[in-house]
Amino acid sequence: MKLGIIASLVLLGCIGATADIGVRVGVVAFEDFDREYDKWETVLADFGRRSHPPLRFQLAAGTYGDLLDWMDRELVDVAILTSGVFATSQFSTESTPAYQHLATVGLPPAVSDWAGLDRRAAGDHFGYRSVCAVPADSPITSIEDLRHVAEQGRVQLVFVSPLSVSGRIAPTVAMREANITADVAIIYSQSHSEPVRLLTQPVNGLARVAFVWDDTVREGDELRAKRRRLPFPALDQLFLPHDSARLRRCVGRIRQTRCRAASAISGRNWANPFC
Q: Over the stretch 10-35, which tens digit does the pLDDT of each residue have?
A: 554 554 444 556 788 888 876 666 66
CA angle centred on 79, ends 160 and 6, rounded to 5°: 130
Q: Decide if 273 is inside a domain.
A: no
Q: Decide if 116 is inside a domain.
A: no
Q: What is the reported pLDDT for 275?
A: 42
Beta-strand relationship, 155-159 and 207-213? parallel
**66 and 27 in a common domain:** yes
**8 and 96 in a common domain:** yes
Domain with residue 15: its CATH number is: 3.40.190
Top pLDDT among 172 and 50 is at: 172
**100 and 131 in a common domain:** no
d(CA 10, CA 100): 11
Q: Decide if 119 is inside a domain.
A: no
Domain with residue 155: its CATH number is: 3.40.190.10
Q: Decide if 235 is inside a domain.
A: yes
Lowest mean pLDDT among 109-113, 144-148, 198-202: 198-202
Helices in 90-162 by DSSP H: which ranges? Answer: 143-151
Are the C-beta atoms of 79 and 99 separated by less than 8 Å?
yes
Q: Decide if 65 is inside a domain.
A: yes
Q: What is the reported pLDDT for 19?
A: 52
SS (H, E, C) 181-198: CCCCEEEECCCCHHHHHH
**181 and 88 in a common domain:** no
Q: Decide if 171 is inside a domain.
A: yes
Q: Supply the range of the domain harboring residue 37.
A: 3-105+243-257
Nearest to 24 by CA among 265, 234, 246: 246
Q: Tell me: the pLDDT tens digits for 47-82? A: 778 777 777 888 888 888 888 888 888 888 888 887
Q: Decide if 182 is inside a domain.
A: yes
pTM of the model: 0.77
Q: What is the reported pLDDT for 266?
A: 28
The average pLDDT across 92-104 equals 67
Q: Tell me: the pLDDT tens digits for 252-267? A: 443 333 333 223 222 3
Which residues touch 103 (CB under 8 Å, ≥6 apart)? 1, 2, 3, 6, 7, 244, 245
The average pLDDT across 195-212 equals 91
